Chains A and B, each alone.
Chain A
Amino acid sequence: EAQVTQNPRYLITVTGKKLTVTCSQNMNHEYMSWYRQDPGLGLRQIYYSMNVEVTDKGDVPEGYKVSRKEKRNFPLILESPSPNQTSLYFCASSPRDGNNSPLHFGNGTRLTVT
C-alpha cells in the first residue's frame, strides 16, 4: 500500500532532550516536507526536500534539523526541544515539487515537550 509512515505517533519528552521523528515513503517521491499544525495557525512548513541531499528551510525552521540521505526517508530532528515545539507534526511527500501535484500526508506525530 502506498503510504507515508511517521513514527512515533505520540511522544512526550522533556526540554533539551534530543529527539528524532522518522518519516518514510514507499512511492518513490522526489519531494518531501515537514509541517507543524497548531490551533488557529493552520499548517506551517518547517523544512522541505526536493531530492536526495537537497533540503531547504520552510516558514518555521528554527529549532529543527532534517536530512535526506535516501529518497524514501526524511527524519525531523529536534536537537534541544522546547515547550513551544509542542505541536502536531506531519510529514508529506509528492511526486515532483509539492506545489503542482498532490501531497500525501502521514498520520502525524503528536509531540509534547514539558
Chain B
Amino acid sequence: SQQGEEDPQALSIQEGENATMNCSYKTSINNLQWYRQNSGRGLVHLILIRSNEREKHSGRLRVTLDTSKKSSSLLITASRAADTASYFCATVAQSNFGNEKLTFGTGTRLTIIP
C-alpha cells in the first residue's frame, strides 16, 4: 500500500517561477526522501529529511517536514527547463513486521515552460 501521496499530480509553471510539491503520508515515519526522475530514466536522490528535522536545503531545493500534519513539501526556486521531471516522495516507516520499509508515492509531473 502507498504511504506517500504527492499533490498535485501535475504542475506546469513558467521558467523562473518557484515550484512547490506536497507529500502527505498516513503513519509515523523515520525519514522522508525526495527523488527526481527524468523521462524514461532512473530516479535520482535529492534530499533525505529525518523525522526530527523540520527543514533542509540543497542548492535551489528546500524541503520541509511537518510531522504533526504528516506532510512534506519540496520547493524548487527559480525553476529552469532542466527541472522538468517527475518528483517522488518516499517514506521510511516501521512495517507490520517491525522492520523499516521504504515506500514510494506516485509522483508529481513538473513541466517548466520556457
Contact of A105 among B44, B92, B100, B106 (CB under 8 A): B44
B40:A42 contact, CB within 8 angstroms: no
**Chain B interface mostly helix, strand, loop or mixed?**
strand
Q: Check A102/B41 contact, CB under 8 A, given A42-B88, A97-B100.
A: no
B30 within 8 Å of A by Cβ? yes
Name the interface residues of B58-93: CB closer than 8 Å to any CB of A.
88, 92
Q: Is A100 an interface residue (CB 8 A)?
A: yes
A43 contacts chain B at the CB level, 8 A cutoff: yes
Q: Which residues of B contact A44 (CB under 8 A)?
A: 104
Residues of A within 8 A of B30 (CB): 99-100
Cα A105 to Cα B33 with chains together (Å): 14
Q: Are A108 and B106 touching (Cβ within 8 A)?
A: no
Q: Let me know if B100 and A4 touch, CB within 8 A.
A: no
User: Interface readout for B99-114 with A: 1 if CB under 8 Å, 0 if not?
Assistant: 0111011110000000
Contacts of B107 in A (CB 8 A): 42
A103 engages B43 (CB within 8 Å): yes
A-side contacts of B106, CB under 8 Å:
40-42
Q: Does B12 contact A (CB under 8 A)?
A: no
Q: Mark A86-105, 1 if CB is under 8 A from B, else 0.
A: 00101010000111111111
Name B91's closest neighbour in chain A (CB-CB).
Answer: A99
Closest A residue by C-beta to B44: A105
For the complex, what is the distance from the CA of A88 to the CA of B86, rounded to whole Å?
15
User: In the complex, what distance in Å separates the CA atom of A51 from the CA atom of B20?
Assistant: 38
Known: A42-B107, A102-B33. A90 touches B101 (CB 8 A): no
Provide the bound-state CA to CA distance between A40 and B107, in Å.
Answer: 9
Is A102 in contact with B45, judged by CB distance below 8 angstroms? yes
Q: List 23 contacting pairs A-B, 8 Å CB cutoff, sorted by A.
A: A42-B106, A42-B107, A45-B102, A88-B40, A90-B42, A92-B42, A97-B100, A99-B92, A99-B100, A99-B102, A100-B31, A100-B48, A100-B92, A101-B48, A102-B48, A103-B35, A103-B43, A103-B45, A106-B42, A107-B41, A107-B42, A108-B40, A108-B41
